[in-house]
Amino acid sequence: MASHAITEVQHVEENYLEVKSRWRGIFAWIFSTDHKRIGILYLVSSLTFFVVAATIGIFMRLEQLTMGETLMSPDVYNRLFTLHGVIMIFLLIIPGIPATFGNFFLPIQIGAKDVAFPRLNLLSWWLYIIGAILAITTLFLPGSLPDTGWTFYVPYAVRTGSNVALAVFAAFILGFSSILTGLNFLTTIHRLRAPGMTWHRLPLFVWALYATAWIQILATPMVGITLLLIIFERVLNIGIFDPTQGGDPILFQHLFWIYSHPAVYIMVLPGFGVVSEIIPTFSRRTIFGYKLIAYSSLSIALFGSLVWGHHMFVSGESDTANIIFSFLTFFIAVPTAIKVFNWTATLYKGSIALEPPMLYVLSSIFLFAIGGFTGLMQATLPIDVHVHDTYFVVGHFHYTMFGGTIWVMLAGLLYWFPKMTGRMYNKKVAYLAWPFMFIGFNVLYGTMMYMGWKGMPRRYYDHLPEFHTDHVIATVGSWLLYIGILILLGNLVYALYRGAKAPDNPWGGATLEWKTTSPPPLENFTQEPVIKHEPYYFREEDNG
């Protein structure tokens, strides 16, 4: 302990990237228990998976460019849309913001030196990577990649010859990674807040992570059990979902969505948190309705756990259950609407700088709002009967999950990149990527919603002539979007090596991460911060 303390004193000026440990090269990363290094590990791995899955998406769109076979057989196409979904959901969006920015900034924002359990944190990343490797391994094993869609519905998932068992086991392991991260964050938020950091002085990103962590802990075990049951069903033929043995295929859908619906709030709540950070910073004023935003995250977490049945309106679920689930689903619209109104009100009488992170966040609110409104349509029973399992749903969840979560994750990346790396990217190039992404996004997913309303079912390898023009337009949109993503990420990779040195507080932010150096030192602050204000208090900056 003594020698450790001495090292600390000697290297007090070094940032976390320069600190020497007993490991060298890549091992200094993959064996590090520093929450910032783990955050970067997650960031690099999840963005890599993002590019892979987006590329798969491009190939799927290319297949739809002509009728009949264009590039691949139905067998390959079915595996690709499964892989696209599994990677995007389990390897990008669920760990996404919490594991990357949450890991990096949660301890800093509450004035802590690290998370409560640093070793557990490293274990979470390892489980994540092991899960990812297992999922990819199916490609080289008999049966190859699964062809069930990311939802693994039975009986198809039990009957198919593709390698479902290992892919499902991979998702099971990823679930543990998620649970451990949630546990770690909850403990950190409860136990490690700096002096003066009361609950109502927590940045809203921390509140969002707090609500998310509860869902991760409470809901994830559910999907773990469900996935194990699929494996038992396939390997041991236990018959729990098989009607010829007294089982029930609908039971699977209940079990699956009891987790997977709350999971969409695991995916989107941290994004709301990031929005609540970026808007005050670039408006240079306090957030409007702090408490309402904080508590609306909790109420979304609560109501989100009670609405899973709205995925099953045409499954054979009873009419009574359908009506109740529809009713509860509409409740979620209220806290979500509150957030959007409060964000808009925060712009009022601010001093607004439309820097790249702000531009991406504001456009994300627009896209997410479209996702929200189309969600209301699907919550309305007779509309859902028509649009369920069509491209309308595909468009809707890309507006929420991509337009909401991933878009905000990219905004967060533009916001925190200088803090994490100590380098500033080229802002002009960041602006340049925007029209490609924004136009491409709406052309791609807007057209999907339109053709879904006309009756184009999802997960279709081929399409009828009446949908052909729509598919061509959507495919062109996918090219624009993809180009935009590559420009955006390429700019950041370039900045990593050639970017100008970033100042400690490039945006004039008020939360604690902007009060330390860029990049932060190993233990985040040279001395423990004492908090005297609400999180979005910009007056000191004005005086200084």
Partner 1 sequence: MGASNFTNQVDNVFLFILVISVVLLIGITAAMIYFVIKYRRSKHPNPVDIHGNVLLEVVWTVVPFFIVMGFFYYGVVDYREMRNIPEDAMEVEVMGRMWSWMYTYPNGVQTDTLYVPLNKPIKLKIKSVDVIHSFYVPAFRIKQDAVPGMETKMWFKAQQEGQFQVMCAEYCGDRHSYMYSQVHVLPEDEFERWYASAAAEVETFAQAQEGAEVDEAARLEKLVKQGQRLIKTKGCIACHTLDGSRLVGPSFKGIWGKTETVIANGEEKTIVVDEAYLRRSMLEPNVEIVKGYPPAMPPQGSILNEQEIQAIIEFLKTLKAEQ
Site for partner 1 in 359-388 (CB under 8 A): 362, 365-366, 369-370, 373-374, 376-377, 379-383, 385-386, 388
Stretch that binds partner 1, among 213-221, 265-273, 454-462, 483-491 (CB under 8 A): 454-462
- Which of 153, 431, 434, 450 lies at the binding interface for partner 1 (CB under 8 A)? 153
Least distance from C-beta 435 to partner 1, angstroms? Answer: 16
Distance, in Å, from the CA atom of 518 to the CA atom of 105, rounded to the nearest integer, reads 13
User: Which tokens belong to 278?
Assistant: 């970026």
Q: Which is nearer to partner 1, 166 or 383 (CB)?
A: 383
CB of 117 to partner 1, least distance (A): 35
- At a CB cut-off of 8 Å and minimum separation 6, what does 279 contact? 287, 343, 346, 347, 358, 361
| Contacts with partner 1, 3-42, as mask; x by CB under 8 A | ----------------------------------------
Q: Which 238-257 residues touch partner 1, going by CB under 8 A?
A: 242-244, 247-250
Residues 309-338 that bind partner 1 (CB under 8 A): 314-316, 319, 322-323, 326-327, 330-331, 333-334, 337-338
Number of residues binding to partner 1, judged by CB under 8 A: 87
Handedness of CA 456, 461, 464, 470 (dihedral sign): positive
CA distance 325 to 313: 9
Work out how close the CB of 392 gets to partner 1 at its nearest, in angstroms, rounded to a whole number.
10
Which one among 149, 221, 239, 446 touches partner 1, defined by CB under 8 A?
Answer: 149
Rounded Cα gap, residues 495 and 215, in angstroms = 36
Strand partners, 457: 390
Tokens of 272: 């709301």
Residue ranges in 499-538 that form contacts with partner 1 under rule CB under 8 A: 538
Residue among 100, 342, 478, 524 that touches partner 1 (CB under 8 A): 342
* Interface with partner 1 in residues 180-209 (CB under 8 A): none
Question: Residues 142, 161, 465, 544: which binds partner 1 (CB under 8 A)?
Answer: 161
Per the CB < 8 A criterion, the answer to whether 188 and 106 are in contact is: yes
Angle between helices 164-191 and 118-137 (to 10 degrees): 160
The least CB distance from residue 329 to partner 1, in Å, is 9
Pick between residue 125 and residue 252 the one whose CB is nearest to partner 1.
252
Of 14 and 242, which CB lies nearer to partner 1 in the complex structure? 242
Q: What tokens does 222 get?
A: 């559910």
Residue with tokens 């009828």, as numbered in its chain: 464
- Report the nearest approach of partner 1 to the CB of residue 48 (Å): 28
What is the rounded (10 degree) CA torsion for 297, 303, 308, 313? -120
Binding mask 69-88 toward partner 1 (x if CB under 8 A, else -) reads -----xx--x----------
Q: Which residue matches tokens 């196409």?
A: 77
Q: 35 vs 5, 113, 117, 513, CA distance in Å?
A: 19, 9, 10, 14
Q: Does 276 bind partner 1 (CB under 8 A)?
A: no
Q: Cβ of residue 157: shortest distance to partner 1, in angstroms?
A: 9
What string of DSSP letters covers 143-201?
A: T-S--S-TT--TTHHHH-SS-HHHHHHHHHHHHHHHHHHHHHHHHHHHH-PPTT--GGG
Selected range binding partner 1 among 155-163, 231-239, 476-484, 497-505, rule: CB under 8 A: 155-163
Between residues 453 and 494, which has the closer beta carbon with respect to partner 1?
453
Among 7, 18, 44, 159, binds partner 1 (CB under 8 A): 159
**DSSP code per residue over 203-271:** -HHHHHHHHHHHHHHHHHHHHHHHHHHHHHHHHH---TT-GGGT--HHHHHHHHHHHHHHHHHHHHHHH
